[in-house]
Amino acid sequence: MSLEEILQEKRKAIKARWLDLVLADYSPDTAKFLKSKKDQFDNPVGHTLTQGLDVLGDALIDNRDVAEVDATLEDVIRIRAVQEFPPSVGVGFLFALKRAVELEVGKVLGAEDLRTFDQRVDGLVLRAFDLYMDCRAQIFELRIDGMRRGTLDVRDQVALRKAKRLAKKSSDKPDNTAKPAKPDKTAKPDKPDKTDKTD
CA distance 14 to 74: 22
The total number of structural domains that make up the chain: 1
Q: Considering the domain boundaries, does residue 85 fall inside one?
A: yes
Residue 136 lies in a domain: yes
- Contact predicate 81/90, CB 8 Å: yes
Q: Determine, yes or no, domain membership for 80.
A: yes
Average pLDDT of every residue of the chain = 81
The torsion of the CA quartet 104, 105, 111, 115, rounded to 10 degrees, works out to: -70
Render pLDDT for 52-68 as a digit per residue (tens, 0 to 9): 999 999 999 999 988 89
Q: What average pLDDT does range 100-116 have in this prediction? A: 93
CATH of the domain at 101: 1.10.490
User: What's the domain range around 61?
Assistant: 3-148
pTM of the model: 0.68
* More reliable by pLDDT, 177 or 33: 33
Please report the pLDDT score of residue 199 as a whole number. 46
* Of 90, 25, 79, 88, the residue nearest 52 (C-alpha): 79
The whole-number average pLDDT for the span 90-105 is 94
Q: What is the pLDDT of residue 131?
A: 92
Instruction: Answer whether residue 130 is part of any domain.
Output: yes
